[in-house]
Structure 1
């Protein structure tokens, strides 16, 4: 297991980390929305479980994608990168 390093981007910029997590959650929930709707309207625990797993999987994939250096560079241009924009 990795050692905890104080001063990482998670602790330096907590609101950026929070916003990136919210974006991943919204993406996962959006993909799972039809399953969630079916689960709620039909009262199906199996569909609800599938919807939850789908949302979690998609959110995890989005989070992993945002950790890619190329994507993080793009997110930095939008002001959502792990580190703030470098001003010259």
Structure 2
């Protein structure tokens, strides 16, 4: 049986905060860019073609910016949440990298 001390010692988010940030960057960045840069423009173009309009030229650039912003904010939040003091606060609410102590 794993003890609480062993689980706490295994929490890599606080031990390696930049790895947690990079994992979040990949986890959020891939779906954000695929969705906002790949899928959404296609859907918008189909809708606009049905009503006889063209997609605004700056829209794709705006969607790239939105995907970038979404990824950056999520990465920054992951890094902030990996700070030991923030993690300790989150643990009190059951949201930390380690289980809440009894």
TM-score (norm 1): 0.52
| RCO higher in structure (CA 8 A, sep ≥6) | 2
**RMSD (Å) for aligned C-alpha atoms:** 3.0
Q: Which runs of 5+ in 1 are unaligned?
A: 1-6, 11-20, 30-38
Q: Which residue of 1 aligns with 2:95?
A: 80
Q: Which residue of 2 aligns with 1:49?
A: 64
Report how many residues are paired: 57
Runs ≥4 residues deviating over 2 A: 7-10
Q: Which runs of 5+ in 2 are unaligned?
A: 1-8, 13-23, 33-40, 45-54
Deviation at 1:67, TM superposition (A): 0.1
TM-score (norm 2): 0.45
In 2, Cα distance between equivalents of 1:8 and 1:46: 41
Q: Per-residue CA shift, 1:38-85, capped at 9, x if unaligned?
A: x87x65100000000000000000000000001100100110111111
